[in-house]
Structure 1
Amino acid sequence: MYDPKNNNLLEIFGVCFILGSCITISITSLFYISDKYFPLIVYGIVLQIYFILEFTNSYLYQTNTVTSKSFLIYGNRGNKEFWFMQLLTIWEYLSVRFILKFIPFSPVNYLGFPGLILITTGLLIRHLAMKKCGLSFSHYLAKTKQAHHKLVTTGVYKYVRHPSYLGFFLFSIGIQLWLSNYLNLMVDVYILYQFFTIRIEHEEKLLIEFYQDDYLKYQQMTYTLIPFIK
């Protein structure tokens, strides 16, 4: 059930207003900035869309757990690490552009468009996962099985185990390809691999405890599709 105590409407309005204003300013600036900063502004827009989608999906499909922190901007575990990765992303992009000032030619980013495809695909997969899982989905691991929990094996879950993680993985990798941030690409792959390995291992122990043989059968029939994580 929706709990109004967990949702400060003034706080939600404030975050939405700031995000909406930032997106408007960012889109407007695309028409005035130099080409070398165009990818960075698009990255900012994409990041803001991600935050809005996280809250919107939670509001629509996870009414029992949605809070004013469901934007995943602040107030959650992992936020510090997330923002550190974003700072590294911006730092690498600006550093490379500074170095390129002293190079007589401009390298072409052939992976920019594939990066955008990965970003879009990642957001879509994550949306489908949150929608299909419904009340069983949460940004936090449930240590005990609740009455509204159910094992979802249809929709996107029929083809991918932990599709929300796959969606975030593709989204993150796509950003680095779009920005030609190859150092951060390697860093992101390593960090996300470490994080998802631990998270999925712990989560699947709980899921086996909750659903026993039903989950074991589902586990054998599906893959995470995240590299090196079965």
Structure 2
Amino acid sequence: MPLEAPKRLPPLANIKTNPPDLIAIQAAFLGVIFGVSLTLLFQVTFYPFPLYLLALSVFHFMEFWITAKYNPAKVSADSFLINHSGSYLMAHSAAITECLIELYLVPGWKTNHPYICLMGGVLMVGGQTLRSLAMKTAGESFSHIIVTTHDSHHHKLITDGVYQISRHPSYTGYFWWCIGSQLVLGNPVCFVGFSVVLWRFFSDRIAYEEDYLIRFFGDKYLQYKKTKTTWIPLIR
């Protein structure tokens, strides 16, 4: 009987970049936020605020879990993206601050737009789903950091799954998730601010990343680019 070739084992997580104590602390922190938010969701009048915190905790948990599940070679304690950047923390701090100030000053206006909140919730669920599916579909080819050197074994051009809908579904999902979060909170100032900053960020990032994708995959990527849009406004 001929022997079967051994199956290639999936890459293992690097313990040096995955200190168990840091992972446990961040996971516990997100679990507390999730639990408290879920409880408050049914106990407070202004439910959009705990809903926002609940969605935020789910987002950060999913970033780590999907990376650990489908891209273990690249997972690290930073994959939660909680400490993403100072600008990221400032943005969400500004969103929370605006929400609480407006809730205090104009509570009636803040609570009288359920359909806007519902629209935001739909965008957040859709955005989260799209981003998570993009990370799962890309698998080892996905990276939170733009890849500037080509590894043919672990970096493939992904064009199936949700990549048939958008050529940058993880970016598209996150863009609309963030926009939806500000609709949920009813934050007019941060809605405009998030929209402008996110659009500029992804416009620059996509242009930079696609320069490398063209170098790596040549005409194959150019043909793919011609047939797929991003679904981020004004970023073809």
TM > 0.5:
yes
Q: What is residue 124 of structure 1 aligned with on the other side? A: 129
Q: What is residue 191 of structure 1 aligned with on the other side? A: 197
- Shift of residue 13 of structure 1? 1.2
Separation in 2, partners of 1:50, 1:188: 17
- Shift of residue 104 of structure 1? 9.5
Give per-residue Cα distances to partners, 1:59-105, cap 9 Å, x unaligned: 0111111001100001x4xx21111110111111112112215x699
1:209 matches 2:220: no
The 1:98–1:58 alpha-carbon spacing in structure 2 relative to 1, beyond 3 Å, is same
Q: What is residue 175 of structure 1 aligned with on the other side? A: 181
The 1:46–1:136 alpha-carbon spacing in structure 2 relative to 1, beyond 3 Å, is same
Residue 10 of structure 1: which of 2, 14, 21 is its match? 21
Residue 55 of structure 2: which of 21, 33, 46 is its match? 46
Residue 69 of structure 1: which of 65, 78, 81 is its match? 78
Q: What is residue 82 of structure 1 aligned with on the other side? A: 88
Instruction: Please say if residues 109 and 180 of structure 1, whose CA atoms lie closer than 8 Å, have aligned partners that are also in contact.
Output: no
Q: What is residue 139 of structure 2 aligned with on the other side? A: 134
Identity, % of aligned pairs? 34
Instruction: Please say if residues 141 and 203 of structure 1, whose CA atoms lie closer than 8 Å, have aligned partners that are also in contact.
Output: yes
Which 10-residue stretch deviates more, 24-33 or 11-20? 24-33
The 1:104–1:137 alpha-carbon spacing in structure 2 relative to 1, beyond 3 Å, is closer
Letter of the 2:72 counterpart: T
Q: What is residue 57 of structure 1 aligned with on the other side? A: 66
Q: TM-score, normalised by structure 1?
A: 0.93
Q: What is residue 112 of structure 1 aligned with on the other side? A: 117
Separation in 2, partners of 1:4, 1:200: 31
Separation in 1, partners of 2:53, 2:226: 39
Any gaps of 5 or more consecutive residues in structure 1?
A: none
Q: TM-score, normalised by structure 2?
A: 0.90
Give per-residue Cα distances to partners, 1:18-58, cap 9 Å, x unaligned: 2112211222233433x13x211111111001000000011
Separation in 2, partners of 1:29, 1:215: 47
